[in-house]
Amino acid sequence: MHLKYESFVREPLVDGDKDYHQVSEDIIKPIEGKPGRMWYVGFIFSVLLLGYGIFSVTWAVYWGLGTWGVNRTVGWGWDITNFVWWIGIGHAGTLISAILLLFRQGWRTGVNRAAEAMTIFAVMCAGQFPIFHMGRVWDGFWVLPLPNTRGTLWPNFDSPLLWDVFAISTYFTVSLLFWYSGLVPDFALIRDRAKTKFRKMAYGLASFGWTGTAKSWQRAEALWLVLAGLSTPLVLSVHTIVSFDFATSVIPGWHTTIFPPYFVAGAVFSGFAMVNTLLVLTRKILHLEEYITIGHLEAMNKIIVLTGSIVGVAYLTELFISWYSQSWGEMAAFQWRIMGPYWWSYWAMMTCNVVSPQLFWVKKLRRNVPFTFVMSIVVNIGMWFERFVIIVTSTYRDWVPGSWSYYSPTWPEVGFYLGTFGLFFTCYFLFAKYFPVVAVHEIKFILKTSGDNYKRGMEKIDNQSAEDFIHIATTHHDEEHVLDAAH
Amino acid sequence: MAIKKFAVAAYDDEEVLFPAVKKVRSSGYKIHDIYTPFAVHGLDEAMGLKGTDLHIAGFIYGLCGTSTAVGFISWIFCSDWPIIYGGKPHFALPAWIPITFELTVLFAAVGMTLTFCYLNQIMPGVKKHVFHPRQSDDLFVMAIEINSHMSEQETTAFLKATGAKEVNVQMAEAGWWYGRWDKKEPYEALNAG
């Protein structure tokens, strides 16, 4: 529109011949139809998994945390491993929606809605772990600074564990607001298209009465820009604070200043891997290949190879510093990581996180959908092992050799972890069925600059001389001329 | 209810909409509003709308968050129940930065979103008149209020000449009300005839 123009050299973000109406049709159709058989199978399986998780957690709450494999030396085990893993995954959504918005990256429009949804569900899963790790979960509200009958004993505001409470609840709230404020106009679209009474009522409620007036769009854009500006430091702060849980302690292997950037890079790394896992399936099942293109997947694979390499540098730096410090505790901790009883977890981490993502330097592989899918799973496994390595292999041999131990999880711990997968996918399946998976209004916004059929017309403009381009553009937009010609 | 008469023009292209807005305004018509399926950049300026001050509200909410956090924590740790944690002083400002930052962001984001809803008058259960069912799909819909001094025919003919795909006249409630979107409102029967 107007002088907004993008070179035809840039890959289109929307493939095929689309107009505004076709975009609405393609994305809203799956919501209006009946879900397929695969949806029911997946949904029921997720609900069953969630049920098993609830059972495992109930068991642990009823009998106490003695049912878990954690012991005096390894106090955090699978529970906090899973917490850090899920919260890391929850970083991609806000990164895509906030940082890429500030950088004006058009490709975010195809993937931001699903990625933000993933963020919210992942943070919901993450939050369960520290809550139930409290053991006496009914006293969980003690972390909140509420006046109480214990002399009004307040929580410790100097503690990274309390910073975590604030960071994660803020992160969840802000991500939810960002996500939902973007959904409102799309709900209005579903409402206005709705043929059935119930759908009209439900989406009428969900759309808050949005009608898309010029002023409301202006305010919405201001809101999204500021929320993006707030979310960008927020997303960096959340995993920084999670890393403080470790870095402010005096445990060898945890007590390092590299943790904040290293955790944030790892979080982005695993988050993008999870986005790829979900989107490769979603685009296939909902036939959204024209909106979530190979180009989108490639862009995310590039981020994966970048952040994977950052994480790799961090691993090597840790090793170097432990030797350079000449501290016996540090050196022993890293020696045991590599060659001790948990050597397999260290090498699984190294292979999955550092070695295998390097394959993404090859363009052919970055643009290969099955390979992207497999790699996204590999990266997620690798990142899980990274958290496991940090938590377990730093603590199982502590300062007193008499209390050295070997930790392995019990079934309620594994069940809890599986249960969060149930929670995550239950939410995701409901999202994929009832919510527009791609941000319709944002796709329409970029359609005329980045849509395939509109870009085809750009070639002509690209080959024009600058004088001709300006001339055509100005006469075309001299509105009075156009109108007079029409009369 | 304040039910008014509107001339409604639906355009199917921004390239036509922008000249039309200019033409309508320069001919002395007052645009009630324009409804678009997505954020059309420059439309607010073309309509003569002022910029929004929402971000200033956000800044003020953020400051409230900052002062709440610093004020509350310092009152607790220095006055209400001073405890020495890990040899830190009672007033351990660097250790409060994370929570202060989080509350700044939280207050700014929640405050701004609520202000956004208030300014736009949107909330679950609120209902507004939809001039065209495709205004959220692919049409750009302009509504002009027809008062007693204006000719209905003249206005619609004028809108047609600006390149509108569809032009009609509707009786509509200009504001918002509590209502269910699946139910027709009594006044909407006025448009049937």
- What does the pLDDT look like over A274-315, one tens digit per residue? 999 999 998 888 888 889 989 899 999 999 999 999 999 999
Mean pLDDT of B166-188: 88
Chain B residues with beta carbon closer than 8 angstroms to that of A221:
39
Note whether residue A61 is domain-resident: yes
Which residues lie below 8 Å from residue A133, measured CB to CB, with a gap of 6+? A65, A76, A79, A80, A83
> What are the tens digits of pLDDT across the range B6-24?
999 999 888 889 999 999 9
> What's the angle, vertex CA A296, arms to CA A104 and CA A455, rounded to 5?
70
B17 lies in a domain?
A: yes
Enclosing H/E stretch for B31 = strand B31-35
A477: in domain: no
Which of B99, B100, B117, B170 is the best residue to mutate to test the A interface, defined by the most A CB atoms within 10 Å of its own CB? B99
Beta pairing partners, A149: none
Its ipTM equals: 0.94
Name chain B contacts of A227, Cβ cutoff 8 Å: 109, 112-113
Give the residue from B70, B89, B120 where a domain finishes: B120
Smallest CA–CA distance, residue A24 to chain B, in Å, is 6
Q: Which of B81, B96, B120 is the last residue of a domain?
A: B120
- pLDDT value of residue B31: 92
pLDDT value for B60:
96
Could you tell me if residue A180 is inside a domain? yes
Task: Give the per-residue pLDDT at B1.
Answer: 59
Give the pLDDT score at B188: 80
From the list B114, B142, B2, B164, the residue with the least C-alpha distance to A483 is B164
Q: Is A240 among the domain residues? A: yes
Evaluate whether residue B73 is within a structural domain: yes
Put simply, whether B126 touches A (Cβ < 8 Å) is yes
Interface probe for B, chosen from A116, A143, A226, A248 (most Cβ of B below 10 Å), is A226
Q: Does B101 touch chain A (CB under 8 A)?
A: yes
pLDDT value of position A221: 92
Which residues on B lie below 8 Å from A222 (Cβ)? 52, 54-55
Q: How far apart are CA B180 and CA B186, in angstroms?
A: 12
Nearest to A213 among B35, B108, B124 (CB): B35
Round to whole Å and give the CA distance between A108 and A87.
Answer: 21
Lowest mean pLDDT among A250-259, A474-483, B148-157: A474-483
Q: Is the pLDDT of residue A369 over 90?
A: yes
Is the pLDDT reported for residue A474 higher than 80? no
pLDDT grade for A1, boundaries at 50, 70 and 90: very low
Q: Which of A73-77, A102-106, A303-307 has the lowest mean pLDDT?
A: A102-106
What is the pLDDT at residue A446?
Answer: 85
> Band of the pLDDT at A2, cuts 50, 70, 90?
very low
pLDDT beyond 50 at A362: yes
- Does any domain span residue B48? no
Q: How many domains does chain A have?
A: 1
Question: Does residue B192 surpass a pLDDT of 80?
Answer: no
User: For A209-255, how does the pLDDT look when each residue is reduced to its tens digit (9 = 90+)?
Assistant: 999 999 999 999 999 999 999 999 999 999 999 999 999 988 888 98
Read off the pLDDT of each residue in A412-429 and give the average, rounded to a whole number: 95
> How far apart, in whole angstroms, are the C-alpha atoms of residue A33 and residue A437?
14
What residue numbers bound the domain in which B81 lies?
A: 54-120
- The domain that contains A223 carries what CATH number? 1.20.1630.10
- Other C-beta atoms lying within 10 Å of the C-beta of residue A467: 8
**Which pLDDT band holds residue A483 (cuts at 50, 70, 90)?**
very low
Q: Are residues B60 and B32 in the same domain?
A: no
The Cα A210–Cα A230 span in angstroms is 24
